[in-house]
């Protein structure tokens, strides 16, 4: 088991290159199953979740070659329609393969994805939408059998909630289905637009991505393509917030401010000076951050749930009180105990967390609970006085490429130990 050791209190200074988006790479890798021919994905992040997705593709009959940040995939024929339990358990979001395998093979067998540290991760909206497209599901003993006896067909679908995963599964199932699919109340996250851009590059006919309604006209075949994955806006906010919490100056290269437009105003309200250029975002932190009174997580274009933990760490040392309301996941305050152990003053009641900023945090020994909660602990450790040890950092490696090297480049005293 690996851990991170951080000697905090050093203002971070310097330039880092932002890696590609995990939450875009995963559905796009599932989409390569639908293509006849070779697909080359550029700017693909080197993350454990991406390697797990490549193992699923290989198990299904695909050929995956990873060179640095390029992944080349070809799936000349599907050798299996089954994603075994061990591979399903490795990555919570492997349910994203359901729509693609159904679209390619007409059947799919997966083990029912378990919940995760964020709470029960139901897939009722995924299944209901795919049923309307002609899929039939049998669930028994934790196994999910899916079949589309007459093939998948277009449908008029209304999602009860703009679920990112359900939107992606419908897109992947509809691009080769017979006829038109109209998806109402679709998720609008930038990663949805990136998946749509990839599918269009492969010859799909879809429009409306990024708005509330996506229209997809099924086509007969999709060809391979070369596609560059968008930068990771959540990792980008994480690195900028690390500059903010340590009172430093960061140049985040590899992205404009555009994908982070729903969070940069919050960093500015907190007193950070931020300059956006086409290929980088500069942040200069104030001497002391100012609290922002109220932040509620909402579907895009609202404040993203994935940055809630990260900004909670940052505001734990601000001047004033910040109230968070987590509206997307049931159980996304598991990082609070660790931050409190480091001296933060945070009280949680249901979906509300009240953060009363303190002058300093103190280093402590903590355990990462989930991907973004672990990142929050890293930020707290970078700002804290003294040494912080973070265990269970496999959570963090799912979504951040070599996180200790990134922060070492900015002058942090941080190392990985077995
Ligand atoms: C995606 O998860 C992201 N994961 C999450 O990022 C992100 O937090 C989430 O979208 C919201 O933006 C990937 O893209 C791989 P949802 P997903 O379906 O698709 C409920 C990270 O840190 N729901 O929009 O699972 C669900 O329980 C990860 O990178 C149902 O009830 O999110 C949740 O409360 C964490 N039934 C809410 O909707 C369903 O059928 C949002 O889920 C589907 C979802």
pLDDT digit string, tens, across residues 25-45: 999 999 999 999 999 999 999
Ligand 1 mean position, distance from CA 163 (Å): 6
What's the DSSP call for residue 246?
T
pLDDT of residue 4: 98
Ligand 1 mean position, distance from CA 190 (Å): 14
Q: What is the CATH number of the domain that holds 299?
A: 3.65.10.10
Question: Residues 285-304, buried b or exposed e (16+ Cβ, 10 A)?
Answer: beeebebbeebbbebbeebb
Q: Assign 140 a pLDDT band (cuts: 50, 70, 90).
A: confident
Residue 253's φ and ψ, nearest 5 degrees, are -95, 155
- Domain with 218, as residue range(s), is 22-228
Q: Give the residue-averaged pLDDT of 62-88.
A: 94
pLDDT of residue 281: 98
Q: Assign 330 a pLDDT band (cuts: 50, 70, 90).
A: confident
Q: Give the residue-averaged pLDDT of 108-137.
A: 87
- In a shared domain, residues 146 and 266: no
pLDDT of residue 115: 63
- In a shared domain, residues 276 and 369: yes
**β-strand pairing of 180-184 with 156-158:** parallel
Q: Which of 228, 262, 277 is the last residue of a domain?
A: 228
- Rounded Cα distance between 6 and 26, Å, is 30
Residue 361's φ and ψ, nearest 5 degrees, are -100, 160
24: which strand partners? none
Q: Assign 114 a pLDDT band (cuts: 50, 70, 90).
A: low
- Rounded Cα distance between 12 and 23, Å, is 27
Tokens 């105990």: give the residue. Answer: 337
Q: Which residues contact 105 (CB under 8 A, 6 or more apart)?
A: 78, 81
Q: 149 vs 226, which has greater pLDDT?
A: 226
Using an 8 Å Cβ cutoff, are 241 and 314 in contact? yes
Q: Give the residue-averaged pLDDT of 382-392.
A: 98
- In a shared domain, residues 262 and 398: yes
Domain count, the chain: 2
- In a shared domain, residues 157 and 235: no
Q: Give the residue-averaged pLDDT of 255-267.
A: 97
pLDDT of residue 93: 85
- In a shared domain, residues 263 and 402: yes
* Residue-by-residue DSSP string for 375-392: HHHHHHHHHSBSEEEEE-
- In a shared domain, residues 198 and 296: no
- In a shared domain, residues 115 and 152: yes
Please name the residue whose Cα sits nearest to atom 37 of ligand 1: 328
- In a shared domain, residues 267 and 140: no
- In a shared domain, residues 208 and 266: no
Q: What percent of the chain has pLDDT over 90?
A: 92
Please name the residue whose Cα sits nearest to atom 15 of ligand 1: 23
Q: In the structure, how many helices (H) and strands (E) does the chain have?
A: 14, 26
- Which of ligand 1's atoms lies nearest the C-alpha of 299? 12
Say yes or no to pLDDT of 310 above 90: yes
| Sign of the dihedral through C-alpha 294, 298, 304, 307 | positive
Please name the residue whose Cα sits nearest to atom 34 of ligand 1: 329
Q: Give the residue-averaged pLDDT of 289-314.
A: 98
- How many alpha carbons fall within 13 Å on the CB side of residue 143? 9
- Specify whether 251 is catalytic: no
Q: Mean pLDDT, the chain, as a whole number?
A: 96
Tokens 């021919």: give the residue. Answer: 37
Catalytic one among 35, 44, 108, 116? 116
């Amino acid at each position: 088991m690996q851990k991170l050791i951080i000697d905090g209190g050093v203002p971070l200074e310097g330039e880092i290159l932002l890696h590609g988006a995990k939450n875009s790479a995963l559905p796009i890798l599932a989409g390569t199953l639908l293509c006849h021919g070779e697909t080359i994905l550029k700017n693909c992040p080197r993350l454990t979740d991406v390697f797990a997705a490549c193992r699923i593709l290989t198990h299904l009959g695909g050929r995956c070659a990873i060179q640095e940040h390029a992944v080349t995939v070809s799936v000349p024929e599907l050798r299996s329609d089954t994603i075994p339990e061990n591979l399903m358990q490795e990555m919570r979001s492997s349910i994203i393969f359901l729509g693609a395998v159904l679209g390619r093979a007409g059947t799919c067998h997966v083990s029912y994805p378990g919940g995760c540290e964020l709470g029960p991760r139901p897939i009722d909206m995924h299944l209901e939408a795919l049923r309307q497209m002609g899929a039939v599901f049998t669930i028994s003993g934790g196994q999910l059998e899916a079949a589309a006896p007459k093939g998948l067909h277009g449908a008029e679908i209304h999602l009860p909630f703009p679920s990112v995963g359900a939107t992606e599964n419908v897109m992947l199932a509809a691009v080769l289905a017979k006829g038109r699919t109209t998806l109402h109340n679709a998720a609008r996250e930038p990663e949805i637009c990136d998946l749509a851009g990839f599918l269009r590059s492969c010859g799909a006919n879809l429009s409306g991505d990024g708005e509330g309604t996506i229209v997809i006209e099924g086509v007969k075949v999709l060809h391979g393509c070369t596609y560059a994955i968008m930068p990771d806006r959540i990792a980008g906010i994480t690195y900028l917030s690390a500059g903010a919490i340590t009172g430093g100056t960061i140049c985040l290269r590899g992205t404009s401010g555009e994908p982070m437009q729903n969070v940069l105003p919050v960093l500015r309200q907190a007193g950070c000076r931020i300059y956006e250029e086409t290929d980088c975002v500069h942040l200069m932190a104030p001497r002391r951050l100012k609290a922002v009174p109220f932040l509620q997580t909402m579907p895009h274009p609202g404040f993203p749930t994935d940055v809630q933990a990260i900004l909670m760490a940052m505001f734990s040392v601000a001047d004033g009180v910040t109230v968070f309301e987590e509206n997307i996941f049931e159980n996304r305050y598991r990082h609070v105990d660790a931050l409190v152990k480091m001296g933060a003053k945070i009280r949680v009641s249901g979906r509300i967390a009240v953060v009363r900023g303190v002058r300093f945090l103190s280093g402590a020994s903590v355990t990462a609970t989930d991907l973004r909660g672990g990142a929050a602990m890293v930020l707290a450790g970078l700002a804290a006085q003294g040494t912080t040890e973070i265990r269970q950092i496999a959570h963090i490696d799912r979504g951040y490429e070599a996180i200790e090297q990134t922060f070492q480049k900015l002058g942090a005293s941080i190392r990985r130990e077995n």
